[in-house]
Amino acid sequence: EDQVTQSPEALRLQEGESSSLNCSYTVSGLRGLFWYRQDPGKGPEFLFTLYSAGEEKEKERLKATLTKKESFLHITAPKPEDSATYLCAVQGSNYKLTFGKGTLLTVNP
């Protein structure tokens, strides 16, 4: 059974204070690892797909990396508008997505 564990559950940062979110996973036949951003009361917004270990992708202040066991979402010099819940999901050989519970990020001005 595919599993995804995200840590920490919640993270509070000061504006400009860089940090990383972790997504540990076990999956049968990784087809892709996905990061989403979710604002309160809204649907998840797609951020990145990573397909193989060593791959990295960047978007503004966010950078996602992937190893064989985990993925990191690095947030550089965050702003208050980066506050959201960040979701990680893996797609295995059965093509289904398995989601973690998310990390609630709060960035204080």
Partner 1 sequence: DGGITQSPKYLFRKEGQNVTLSCEQNLNHDAMYWYRQDPGQGLRLIYYSQIVNDFQKGDIAEGYSVSREKKESFPLTVTSAQKNPTAFYLCASTLAGGSEQFFGPGTRLTVL
User: Which positions touch partner 1 (CB under 8 A)?
Assistant: 4, 31-32, 34, 36, 41-46, 49, 87, 89, 91, 96-102
Judged by CB, which is closer to partner 1: 83, or 85? 85
Q: Which is nearer to partner 1, 59 or 101 (CB)?
A: 101
Q: Which is nearer to partner 1, 90 or 107 (CB)?
A: 90
Q: What six digits make up the tokens of 43? A: 């649907």
Which is nearer to partner 1, 11 or 97 (by Cβ)? 97
DSSP three-state, residue 8: coil
Range 56-68 burial, b when 16+ CB lie within 10 A, else e: eeeeeebbbbbee
We find the least distance from the C-beta atom of residue 29 to partner 1, in angstroms, to be: 13
CA distance 46 to 14: 25
Q: How far apart are CA 5 and CA 101, in angstroms?
A: 7
Q: How far is the CB of 44 from partner 1 (least distance, A)?
A: 5
CA pair distance 10, 103, nearest whole angstrom: 5
Shortest distance, position 100 Cβ to partner 1, whole Å: 5
